[in-house]
Amino acid sequence: MRLLIINGPNLNMLGVREPDIYGRQTLADLEALVREHCGPLGVTPAFFQSNHEGALVDIIQQAYGQQDGLIINPAAYTHTSVAILDALKAVGLPAVEVHLSDPTAREPFRHHSHITPACIAAIRGKGFAGYLDAVDLLVRHIRGQA
């Protein structure tokens, strides 16, 4: 099983950016944790991060026919990007939206997600563990166990 884990803008700055909200671990730490979790499940993860909306749309489209599912943390694009929503809907792959923090507990402009309607679930506020929960959820879903 192949899963693509997509991280949006500023997630390349994990460990530096607002550590009181996001912690001190880095994107490389997150990727290593997900790889380790995926191994025993028979899952091959691929990772992509970009600060550019079009690049995120492109990678979602490229996943069509290549990946079995997607995990996406669209970061700030959660609240603004109809293009990412449309790309997720176009490829039709099962996707889980993940956020390290809980956007609904933050500023009001972060409360609405354009991405959630294209996802089978949204996991918020669980830090790095949210990505592991997303892997488990997708594996069960794809294997018909959920």
Instruction: Point out the residues that are catalytic.
Output: 22, 99
First to last CA, the chain: 16
DSSP for residue 17: S
C-alpha–C-alpha distance, residues 89 and 94, integer Å: 9
C-alpha–C-alpha distance, residues 23 and 12, integer Å: 13
C-alpha–C-alpha distance, residues 146 and 140, integer Å: 5
